[in-house]
């Protein structure tokens, strides 16, 4: 087991939102991260509760769209996952694109699949600190996995990027 893989790689948290599930895009979206080289180290399907949404979107309480956002997020089960890789937090945010999918760059997930500000397919942690909190909010330690993708040993990162 390469120690650097276990201890040095950054982790981020994502939710494939109800619109991604309803539209059958969950696999397509997850595969973009896999293809990029990011590693899935935890994943599960859950039905969000209002209480969990209140906690997860606490920074948006008081916004006029908050109630609608909670109704949307609790409408259908979602898939939560943790992705691991160098600079994973920033990289995944970049791959998601702007919050308003109509303004998101083509080539991003929201820019390629979405047209809405609310139904924008995916949540991704916005900083390393948020990622840590969100991972702990949705996953217990025994749901997290440490494993190696064979390619990582030689081809995903150069030797000087592994630290
Ligand atoms: P982010 O998901 O790009 O980080 P946040 O500002 O954290 O964006 O908002 C969380 C979620 O709340 C968004 O992804 C979107 O689903 C919803 N949201 C944000 N702003 C609006 C809005 O103006 N109208 C409707 N929904 C919104
Ligand atoms: Mg956010």
Nearest ligand for residue 72 CA = 1
Nearest ligand for residue 120 CA = 1
pLDDT at site 27 = 98
Q: Residue 34, SS3?
A: helix
pLDDT at site 161 = 84
- List, in order, residues 6 or more apart from 163 with CB less than 8 Å away: 4, 8
Q: Which residues line ligand 1 (CB under 6 A)?
A: 60, 65, 69, 99, 117-118, 120, 123, 126
| Distance from residue 12's CA to the centre of ligand 1 (Å) | 18
Q: Is CATH 3.30.70.141 what the domain over 3-154 is classified as, yes or no? A: yes
161 burial via Cβ count (<10 Å: 0-12, 13-18, 19+): exposed
| Distance from residue 17's CA to the centre of ligand 1 (Å) | 12
pLDDT at site 135 = 98
Closest residue CA from atom 16 of ligand 1: 118
Q: What's the whole-model pTM score?
A: 0.94
pLDDT at site 159 = 83
Best CA proximity match to 144, nearest among 62, 80, 56, 98: 80
pLDDT at site 14 = 99
pLDDT at site 154 = 75
DSSP 4-37: HHHHS-EEEEEEE-HHHHHTT-HHHHHHHHHHHT
pLDDT at site 149 = 85
Closest residue CA from atom 5 of ligand 1: 99
Scan for tokens 């995903």, then name that residue.
Answer: 156
Name the DSSP letter for residue 142.
Answer: G
Closest residue CA from atom 25 of ligand 1: 118
State both tokens at 131: 């990622």
**56 assigned to active site:** no
**pLDDT digits (tens), the chain, 163 positions:** 444 444 568 999 999 999 999 999 999 999 999 999 999 999 999 999 999 999 999 999 999 999 999 999 999 999 999 999 999 999 999 999 999 999 999 999 999 999 999 999 999 999 999 999 999 999 999 999 999 887 776 788 888 887 6
């Amino acid at each position: 087991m390469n120690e650097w893989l276990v201890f040095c790689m950054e982790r981020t948290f994502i939710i494939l939102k109800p619109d991604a599930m309803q539209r059958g895009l969950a696999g397509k979206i997850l595969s973009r991260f896999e293809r990029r080289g990011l590693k899935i180290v935890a994943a599960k399907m859950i039905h969000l509760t209002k209480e969990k949404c209140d906690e997860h979107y606490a920074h948006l309480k008081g916004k006029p769209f908050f109630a609608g956002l909670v109704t949307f997020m609790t409408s259908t089960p979602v898939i939560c996952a943790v992705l691991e890789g160098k600079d994973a937090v920033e990289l995944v945010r970049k791959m998601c694109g702007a919050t308003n999918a109509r303004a998101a760059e083509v080539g991003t997930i929201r820019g390629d699949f979405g047209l809405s500000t609310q139904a924008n397919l995916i949540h991704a942690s916005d900083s390393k600190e948020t990622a840590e909190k969100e991972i702990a909010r949705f996953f217990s330690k025994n749901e997290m996995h440490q494993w190696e993708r064979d390619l990582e040993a030689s081809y995903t990162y150069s030797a000087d990027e592994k630290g």
